[in-house]
Structure formats: C-alpha cells, structure tokens
Chain A
C-alpha cells in the first residue's frame, strides 16, 4: 500500500469559502500530481511538481493553486470555492528517474460546494 495521504477525505463547504486540500507522502518521491475526477469520467491532471519550489499547471484548467515547499507536502488551495469545483481530487506521487514512472495515488478528497 502506498504511503500517500490526503485530508480531509470528505468536505462540504459553502460558496466563497477558501479551502486547502492536504496531500503528503512519505516515500521521498520528487514528483507529485493533482488530478480532478468527476463520476464516471477519466482523471484530468490539474497540477504537477518536479520537486521543491517547482509547480506547473496540468492539462485541465483549474482555478486552484498549489505549492511545494517541502518534498513530502503538496497542498492544493481554492481561494473562493464555487459549485463548479465540486469533484473528487486525487493526489499522486512518483519517483524521479523510475523505470516506468509509476504513480501512487492517495485515497482522494471528495469536495462538495453548496
């Protein structure tokens, strides 16, 4: 089982609130990722990081922001939540230079914005 953790697991919040989704991994992986997944749909990459102080936007445009101050920590922040942000958010990590670049996923955060 992968050592990657996400909190909270479920979050229901009102429109306009600021939220931070936490993601931590204890595997020492340099690469970390945030995906967004709607029910029955494929995962979409919204942010990724190659290492400390490195952050990039993914393929799916997102109003969220991320930071990578420590190797093990990759939080995602929404400054003002909206109902359109309702989704499942999955964090993943992989080892730099790994043969297959296998990504290990956290359990996800189910976000509902009312």
Chain B
C-alpha cells in the first residue's frame, strides 16, 4: 500500500465549479501535511499547509482529519488557471525544521471554459 494515496483523476470541471480532492495517508506518525500544485513540466510549488483546525486561503480550503488519516482540498469558483496536478504531501520529517516529504501520485485537474 502506498504511503499517500490520491485519486489520479483527471477531474474535468467547468469554470466556476467547486471541486474537492481527497487523500489518505498510512503512517500515523506523520507530522505535517501540505498540498502542492505542479504545472506541466515544472517543479512542485507549495500551495498550502494543512492543519487539523482547517485553513483557508482565498478560494482554497484544506482540512486534516488525523483520526481517519485523511486530507482534503476544496477549490471554489474554479478558474482556468487552476488547471494543474495537485499533490497531497505528508511530512515524515526528522523533527525541527527539516522535512522528509512523501508525495502522493497527484490528481490532475482540468478546468474547462
């Protein structure tokens, strides 16, 4: 079983739609959690951290459920520019400021005009 599992998609949605991505992780010792965005042929870019209390950044909302080992990302009012691969990431780190990131396979989002 993969350490981080995501639905690979693709998710094809019209502009303005709300879309949700889910992710599960297997290691309960995981320390912190992130969503990354990766455009075609580019490096992954940190989109947002994920906290148990939930956090929101504009149209993006991330949620963590530690008991179920489940992470989600909600995108409201999708824009064409949101089209990308969204990677669920778990930090298995060494403590302190260091990070050993374990990535899911990514979910491809295509927002249609």
Q: Are A and B genuine complex partners?
A: no
